[in-house]
Amino acid sequence: MGSPVYIQIHNQLRENIENDKWRVGQKIPAERELASQFNVSRMTLRQAIQALVDEGILERRVGSGTFVANRKVQEKMAGVTSFTELMLAAGKTPSSKTISYHLTVPSQTEIEKLKLPAGEQVLRMERVRSGNDVPICYEIATVPAALVKDFSRDEITSSFYRTLEQKAHLYPGHATQHISATKATERIATYLDVKRGDPLLRMTQLSYLQDGRPFEYVHTQYVGSRFEFVLEK
């Protein structure tokens, strides 16, 4: 099975940046020009660009265009806590609404982050996570397909970490988290019941099992007024 077209474009655009075709702070060509270059619709091109924005490789500037992002200040947080555990600890009832759920070919970034062997597929799921039925965040999570082949969809989407521990005796260890500010797009605003342009916290997290294996790569956008990160040093 070949990669989705937008993933192929994502990989090519990333390669252009890594090879210094476009340098940090440089504006990339307009969507119309890139769509013509790749012979795809602007919708498909936007998917590829949005994936790179989610990864922190590109950044959109309102009224100016899309630029190669500067590297953000990074803060490593110790430990891994599941969304379900966070909500329960806050006295809230956690719930999830699955928007999409499918096995697919990984992007080059996902291959590198999850250290996937050649030819391995991933499970990619899109969810809105809520506490007491109030949307808290929108996330796209990618995990190796081989890791979850014995789990049901419900077991994965309801509480993936709990399922890992109880059914596979695999325990999350540490994670690296990159956090930055962003604004809600029209689509994300609809999912999170906020207004387009409202402030969101964007987090990219790579989680590892206690044995050191990376097992989950997640892009999450949190409603700034409903969630906060606390760093302890």
**pLDDT tens series, the chain, 233 aa:** 467 898 899 999 988 888 888 888 899 999 999 999 999 999 999 999 988 888 878 888 888 899 988 654 333 344 556 787 777 777 788 888 999 999 999 999 999 999 999 899 999 999 999 988 999 999 999 999 999 999 999 999 888 888 999 998 988 888 888 888 889 999 999 999 999 999 999 989 999 998 899 999 999 999 987 776 666 55
How far is it, in rounded angstroms, from Cα 70 to Cα 205? Answer: 18
Whether residue 75 lies inside any domain: the answer is no
CATH number of domain containing 61: 1.10.10.10
All residues at 6 or more sequence positions from 42 whose CB lies less than 8 Å from its CB, including other chains: 31, 32, 35
Token match 């007491």: residue?
A: 132
Q: Which domain holds residue 48?
A: 5-68
All residues at 6 or more sequence positions from 147 whose CB lies less than 8 Å from its CB, including other chains: 168, 215
What pTM, to 2 d.p., does this model score? 0.67
CATH number of domain containing 151: 3.40.1410.10
Residue that terminates a domain, selected from 13, 42, 68: 68
How far is it, in rounded angstroms, from Cα 69 to Cα 25? Answer: 6
How far is it, in rounded angstroms, from Cα 46 to Cα 50? Answer: 6
Q: Side-chain half-sphere of 44: how many Cα atoms within 13 Å?
A: 14
Q: Count of CB atoms within 10 A of residue 50's CB?
A: 18
Question: Residue 88's pLDDT is what?
Answer: 79
What's the total number of domains in the chain? Answer: 2
Q: Give the helix ranges, DSSP H, for 19-174.
A: 31-38, 42-54, 83-89, 108-114, 153-168
Token pair listed for 108: 């080059």
